[in-house]
Structures are given as structure tokens and as C-alpha cells.
Amino acid sequence: MAEQVDQNQRQALLLSESIRIFSSQGELFERSTRQWNVLHEESYSQVGKEALSALMQLAARLDQQDDAGLRRLGHTLSQWGKQSQALLDGDEHPVSAWSAQYESLSALGAGLESRIRQLGEVQRKLWDSNLRVKRQQADRVAILSLCLAVFSGLLLAWLLVRPLQQLRGKIAALSQGVRGQSWLMSAPADIVQLASALGELDHRLARLEEDKADFFRHVSHELKTPLAAIQEASSLLQDQIPGPLLPSQQEIVAITLSNTRLLRQRVDALLRHDAANWLAQPLDMRMHELHALIEDAAASMRPLLQQKRITLELSQDNLLVPVDSEKFRTIIENLLSNAIRFSPVGGVISVATGREADRTWVAVIDQGPGIAPENHTLVFQPFYSGPAPAGEVPGSGIGLTMVKTFAQLMGGDVESLPAAKGAYFRVWWPCTS
């Protein structure tokens, strides 16, 4: 289009220059010859010849144009010039002959202007047509470019998102205890390097878990066996099997036996927690009826409930939820055990269930002394236990820690909420496995 514009501009300049030359030289020729015919001075004849020469050059230029109409006008102007030259060279100056020449020159000028206007109109229409075609081509190119850009973007997104989604699934499985996955994939180099690093992490975690399994087996033997022997020996002394003991000796033996039992209880709780945290099998998330799971867990607590004459109020909502039934049972048993421990005789423990947005929750509320605001997060830390209820030995401080660990393994969490009376624990996890 730029080349066409440049060509049209050059042609327009040439045609406008032709009009200017024809107009100025034709007027000069007519004026000088009229003066020469009246005054017969040679200077006027010379001016007329020079103007005629310029018109003849214009005729030659027109004769070389591509347009047939301009070539015809150039040929006609050339013939007119020859006739005018013959009149200038002759001795006689017939008025009628010169008048005919002037009329012919005027007609040539009118014809030249008309033809140039026609050429301008043709060029304008041609330009409009070409511009319209080019605009349509540009529109097609723009639409094609947009489609290509969208397709390229979708292709690039697919090439990046697909391996990232694969990695996300593998990482989720890794976090749930699945080991020995295949980390080979077809993806960009950066993602392949990331997958390789994750594969190495997977391998190292598998080795660490093997080492921890060996460690727990050794700890179970090295700690629990001597503690059991100490407890048994202390029990024999307390029962005065070897012989009678003095009251002060009986008091010392009772303290030893009590602390031995407490130490063994804490070692057992620690091993259960760490084994659950580090050696757990992959989650077995299946759909279960929530009410049935809670009733099953509460059944094992009935002796404790009857001992303190505690009423257990269970929610009747029958929700179908995805959970690992074994871990969920451990969560409910620990929460109920904690609630029974701190509930007064003849109290009430409420278990409520519900669903909000994309999560399911279970709340356990007792009528005990409750939890101080500053301790709402401390109660989930290992070995933290508040003041023991009257007549109760201190707890191991690991039960609520196991509740939090198992809830997080299922993708949820547990929280201690403010309550008007007693403790209020709520466990939640996603509605979809």
C-alpha cells in the first residue's frame, strides 16, 4: 500500500505539472503570437517559439504515458505544434488560421484537464477498492492471529498445567504416606527437575520411615520391658510378698509404683502418637454414616460414662462423609475420654455434627471447668496437660495431640472454641476425599 501511495503521488505530481506547463506555456504562446501578428516584432516570435517548444516537450512526455487517452492528447498536441510551427515560419499570417490554432489549443487544454480528472477518479476508486481488499486481508490476518494466539496459549497452558496437576496429585499422595511413586514425566525441563527432586525426597522419606520403624521397635523393647519389670517388682513390694514393710517404706513403694505407672503410660502414649504420625499407612478414605461411626466409638466409653453417671447426647444428623474410620474412631474416643475425665458426676456431654460449605464438622462439648483463653492452642501440644481433676492422676498430654495429628492427616484440623461452660472442641475435614 505504501508503494502504491508513492506511485500515485508521483503520477499526480506529473499530471499536475503537465496541467501547469500546458496552462502557462499555452497562455504565453497565444499572447506572444497575437502580439507578433500585430506588431511583427521578431522578439515576440521568439517568445512564441520558446513556448511552442515547451508545449512540444509536454506532448512528447504525454506520448510516453501508460494511459491511452493521454497518449492521444500528446499526439494531437504534437500535430498542433507542427501546424503552429509552420505558421510561425511562414511569411503570411492569416487571421483565420491563427484563430483555429487558438481554438484547438483551448480544446486540447480542456481535454487534458478532463482526462486528468478522469484518471484521478479512476485512481481514487482503485485506491478505495485496494484499501477495502487490504482491510479485509488485515481483518482475516488479525482474526487468524488471535485464534493462533488463543490456541498457542491453550496449548502452552495444557503443556504446563498437565504435568503440574500430575505433580500435585503425587505430592498429595506423598503427604498421605504413599511411597515409591514413579516421578518420570514428559514436561518442560524445569518441571522435570522439580519432579526429580521430589522423587529423591520420596526415596529419602522411605528410608527415614524404615529407620524410624526400627527405632520404635528398639524403643518399645528397651523402654517398656525394664519399666514393666520395675512396675511388677514395685507391685510385689507393695503387696509385701517379700516380707512386711514399715509404713514409711510402704509410702516410698507407693510413690515408686505410681510414678512407674505414669512413666509407662507416657511412654506408651508417646510411642502411639509418633507411630501414628510417622508410620501410618495411607489413608483409607471411604464413605461412612457419621452417626454410626460416633455411636460405635461411644460404645467403648460406656463403662466410664456409667461410672460417673454422665449423660451422652448424640446428634441425630445422619450425614454421609468420607473419612478413615480407624483414625476417626481414635479422634472421637480421645475427645470423649478427655470430656469424661473433666466432666462432673452427673454431667452432660453433647456431640453435635454439621456441614458448612465444603467441610463437615463434629463438636464435643462438656460441662467441666473449661479451658482458659490463653490455653486454647497449648492443649494440642505434646505432653501439655492442665490441672488434673480432683481424684484423677495427671494425663499423658498426648490425647489431643493425636486428635490434631489424625485430623490433619485427613485434610482437616481441630480447634478449641470459647464456650459458656466447659470445653468445646470441634474437628472438621473436607466433604470430599
For 127-147, write each residue's pLDDT tens digit. 788 888 888 888 999 999 999
For 56-95, write each residue's pLDDT tens digit. 998 898 888 888 888 898 899 899 988 888 888 876 667 7
Using pLDDT thresholds of 50, 70 and 90, give the confidence band for residue 350.
Answer: very high
User: 40-49, 92-101, 204-213, 268-277: lowest mean pLDDT where?
Assistant: 268-277
For 225-252, write each residue's pLDDT tens digit. 677 778 788 888 888 888 888 888 888 8
Residue 222: per-residue pLDDT? 64
Q: Among 245, 223, 222, which residue's Cα sits nearest to residue 234?
A: 245
Contact 183, 195 (CB under 8 A): yes
What is the CATH class of 285-430? Answer: alpha beta
Residue 282: per-residue pLDDT? 64
In CATH, what number does 2-139 get? 1.20.120.340
Residue 148: per-residue pLDDT? 93
**Range list of H helices, 40-188:** 42-63, 68-89, 95-175
> What's the DSSP call for residue 378?
G
Q: Average pLDDT in the 183-200 region? A: 84
Q: Among 315, 306, 378, which residue's Cα sits nearest to residue 343?
A: 306
Residue 262 pLDDT > 80: no
Burial class (CB in 10 A: 0-12, 13-18, 19+), 6: exposed
At CA 15, angle to CA 13 and CA 21, rounded to 5?
A: 100
User: 62-76, 163-177, 329-343: lowest mean pLDDT where?
Assistant: 163-177
Is pLDDT larger for residue 266 or for residue 339?
A: 339
